Amino acid sequence: MSSAPSFKFILIGESGTGKTSLVTRLIKKKFDPKSVQTVGADYFEYTTSIDNRPVQLVIWDTAGQERFYTIVKSYYRMALGILVVFDITDRSSFDNIPRWLRDARQEADPNCQVLLVGNKSDMAKNRAISSEEAKHFADENMISYIETSALSNENVEEAFLNLATDIFKKTVTGQISTSAYQKKVKEPKEKKEDPCCV
């Protein structure tokens, strides 16, 4: 029996947009209001099911601070999925998306799938970026868009699962070959969390 395919995901975006909170909600099923800023990158594993087949997500949560900018670039290698996260209440986090997207397209594989994530939808009354503006930007850049809330758990699993499903379907049709990825998506010496299944 063949092993479950592994899809490397990375979360990118400005510091304070809630990237770590999204992964914590996905893995631990809870919201941690005391979440600290990521230093460099943290590693997680998550196993889900697509079309009744197990799929392992190898998730890298990267730092958004400028001093880690060069380090973060190294994590694009072998990624099949990228979640570009901004805070819907923070205009600057959205205005910097083009830079993150440019890096993703320069550093990642051309077959890598990208999802734009507007986080903190629970704070919609303080919204600085409308859903329409974010969706228009996503359409212009030929990527998908979803709004999430790590606090309320809105669309958190859906964001990861939608991206994984897009990748899975492309592997089935041959648009993406994961053979090279399976050999190189290695587990680091120390991982941050034990694998979690749904």
Determine the pLDDT at residue 187.
Answer: 46
Confidence of residue 115 (pLDDT cuts 50, 70, 90): very high
pLDDT digits (tens, 9 = 90+) for 47-88: 999 999 999 999 999 875 554 556 667 778 889 999 999 999
Domain boundaries, given as residue ranges, for the chain: 6-173
Tell whether the model's pLDDT for residue 11 goes beyond 60.
Answer: yes
Averaged pLDDT for residues 22-50: 82
What is the rounded average pLDDT of the residues 150-161?
97
Of the chain, the percentage scoring pLDDT greater than 70 comes to: 79
Identify whether the C-beta of residue 111 lies closer than 8 Å to the C-beta of residue 78: no
Burial (0-12, 13-18, 19+ Cβ within 10 Å), 188: exposed
Tell which CATH classification among 3.20.20.10, 2.40.10.220, 3.40.50.1370, 3.40.50.300 matches the domain 6-173.
Answer: 3.40.50.300
